[in-house]
Amino acid sequence: MIPASFDYVRAGSAAEAISLIGQYGDEAKFLAGGHSLLPMMKLRLAQPTVLVDIARVKDLSYIRDAGDHIAIGALTRHMDVETSPVLAQHAPLLAHAAGHVGDPQVRHRGTIGGTIAHADPASDLPATTLALGATYVVQGPNGTREIKAADFYKGFLESDLAADEMITEVRVPKMNGAGWSFQKFNRRAQDWAIVGVAAWRGSNGSGVALVNMGQTPVLATSVSKALADGASIADAAALAAAEASPSKDNNASVEYRTHLAKVLVRRALEESTK
Amino acid sequence: MEIRVTVNGKQHVSDVEPRTLLVHYIREVLGLTGTNVGCDTSSCGACSVHVDGEAVKSCTVLAVQADGSAVTTIEGMAAADGTLHPMQKAFMENHGLQCGYCTPGMVMAATSLLKENPNPTEEEIRIGLEGNLCRCTGYHNIVKSVLAAAGK
């Protein structure tokens, strides 16, 4: 399968990329690693007439200690997130989850900004950064703005991002030694999760987010609230699907997904509780 | 669009349509048909090649994205005198293939894996090859081959 024809332009900087996308309008798309976009283009699920290749904007690939958070450039690849010593120390849940995206070949190309902008509820890192209370820095023609992960996801493959905006940085609060767990239930190692759970639990609270349990990644706030109110892990996990609205597909019915979410949240909380 | 790509040590300057996939560029423009197209949906790994030393699925990379890069395909693994790469030799000696269709991709993924983790456990090899499907061998001899290539 070959994508439909398109024009291809390259940006050397974020500002140039935004200017180019503004010039070409709604039919243009940013191309980062391309591992969500190109498969969709091959299947004609996406048919942009212009691709603005941002993968060569090298100053957007970095992982920095920024005090209370870790700043990750949007074009940092999954493999670099997975193997980062800074993230291993300060946000090990994110590094671990990045190691479960696709397979090594995919992780050599796919980027953290790309998977977040794609806003697929079945992807691992939107939910993981949501659980961690991350903030996304977004650049557009009128400057930059910060969007909390909890406010970013609006619907299936839809986010708060305007067509002429691009994510430039992902800010992940330091985990400060909190316990954590990433549960990914799938049939084949490289598949998307049928249900996934990213969770952490520390002295200042907890965060639990669900993969593939609705139209967006889902923050399981009822679970965290129950834990804060002193509920047992089993009782808190029973609330796992309170905010979720799962769909059925070839892999799972709604009932099965709901059950799985409760089981995986319980396992995740057990693993996170030190 | 004009691209410059070094493939197996040889530089090529080619004019390609932006939508040309790297695997089609390799197979149809350069005539290097050792790289196979399996699923064409970035699942099976048969099309794996190295771009700047790392395994990628060439069915999910545009040729224009590889502009300026060094690409290695299965044809570039053996030495000029025909001496097999240690990974190829290990696959041969350990019966790491049956039909052979997945083998070029397996060899490219496995060499990329050993570059990142020169001393993998059996489990790390199994996880490291999660992006490559084999419908013949049940994977056991492939894992044995990679262990052998790692000197185990």
**pLDDT at residue A190 in the model:** 85
**pLDDT at residue A152 in the model:** 98
Q: What percent of chain A has pLDDT over 90?
A: 96
Q: In this structure, how many other beta carbons lie within 10 angstroms of the beta carbon of residue B34?
A: 17
Name the closest residue on chain A to residue B48, using Cα atoms: A105
pLDDT mean over A205-215: 98
Is B45 an 8 Å CB contact of chain A? yes
Q: Which domains does chain B have, with CATH numbers?
A: 2-75 (3.10.20.30), 86-149 (1.10.150.120)
pLDDT mean over B69-85: 97
Q: Considering only CA atoms, which of A85, A87, A109, A86 is closest in space to residue A97?
A: A87
Q: Tokens standing for A95?
A: 């590094």
Q: In this structure, how many other beta carbons lie within 10 angstroms of the beta carbon of residue A229?
A: 9
For residues A170, B56, B85 and B148, what is the CA-based torsion angle, rounded to 10 degrees?
60
**pLDDT at residue A200 in the model:** 98
Answer yes or no: do A109 and B56 touch at CB < 8 A.
yes
Residues B140, B142, B148, B150, CA torsion sign = negative
Q: Place A175 in a pLDDT band, splitting at 50, 70 and 90.
A: very high
**Residue numbers in A near B54 (CB within 8 A):** 79, 108
pLDDT mean over B25-38: 98
Name the closest residue on chain A to residue B128, using Cα atoms: A104
**pLDDT at residue A1 in the model:** 86
Interface residues on A facing B, Cβ-Cβ cutoff 8 A = 1-8, 31, 34-35, 38-39, 42, 51, 53, 55, 79, 102-106, 108-109, 188-190
Distance CA A51, CA A17 (A): 10
Q: Place A189 in a pLDDT band, splitting at 50, 70 and 90.
A: confident
Is B28 an 8 Å CB contact of chain A? no
Q: Considering only CA atoms, which of B77, B74, B75, B44 is closest in space to residue B59?
A: B44
Q: How close does chain B come to A32, measured CA to CA in Å?
A: 10
DSSP E strands: which ranges in A35-178?
A: 50-53, 63-65, 69-73, 135-140, 143-148, 153-155, 158-159, 166-173
Distance CA A11, CA A18 (A): 9
pLDDT mean over B43-55: 97
Q: Report domain A58-173's class.
A: alpha beta
Q: How close does chain B come to A42, measured CA to CA in Å?
A: 8
**pLDDT at residue A188 in the model:** 85
**Residue numbers in B near A5 (CB within 8 A):** 17-19
Asked whether residue B152 carries a pLDDT value surpassing 90, the answer given is no
pLDDT mean over A174-195: 94
Name the closest residue on chain B to residue A38, using Cα atoms: B60
Is B37 an 8 Å CB contact of chain A? no
Q: How close does chain B come to A255, measured CA to CA in Å?
A: 28
Which listed CATH number (3.40.50.80, 3.30.70.890, 3.40.50.300, 3.30.390.50) goes with A179-272? 3.30.390.50
Query: In a mutagenesis test of the A interface, which of B48, B62, B108 is the best target, namely the one with the most A β-carbons within 10 Å?
Result: B62
Mean pLDDT rounded to a whole number for chain B? 97
**pLDDT at residue B7 in the model:** 98
**pLDDT at residue A94 in the model:** 98
Mean pLDDT rounded to a whole number for chain A? 97
Closest residue to B131, CB basis, from A2, A38, A190? A190
Query: In a mutagenesis test of the B interface, which of A103, A124, A187 is the best target, namely the one with the most B β-carbons within 10 Å?
Result: A103
Q: Note the pLDDT tens digit of each residue in A220-274.
A: 999 999 999 999 999 999 999 999 999 999 999 999 999 999 999 999 999 999 7
pLDDT mean over A36-48: 96
Residue A85's Cβ-count burial label (10 Å; 0-12, 13-18, 19+) is: exposed
The domain spans of chain A are: 7-53, 58-173, 179-272
Cα A177 to Cα A4, A101, B45: the distances in Å are 48, 24, 37
Residue B129: half-sphere exposure toward Cβ, Cα within 13 Å: 31
**pLDDT at residue B92 in the model:** 97
pTM to 2 decimal places: 0.97
- CATH 3.30.43.10 assigned to domain A7-53? The reply is yes
**Residue numbers in A near B43 (CB within 8 A):** 190
Asked whether residue A176 carries a pLDDT value surpassing 80, the answer given is yes
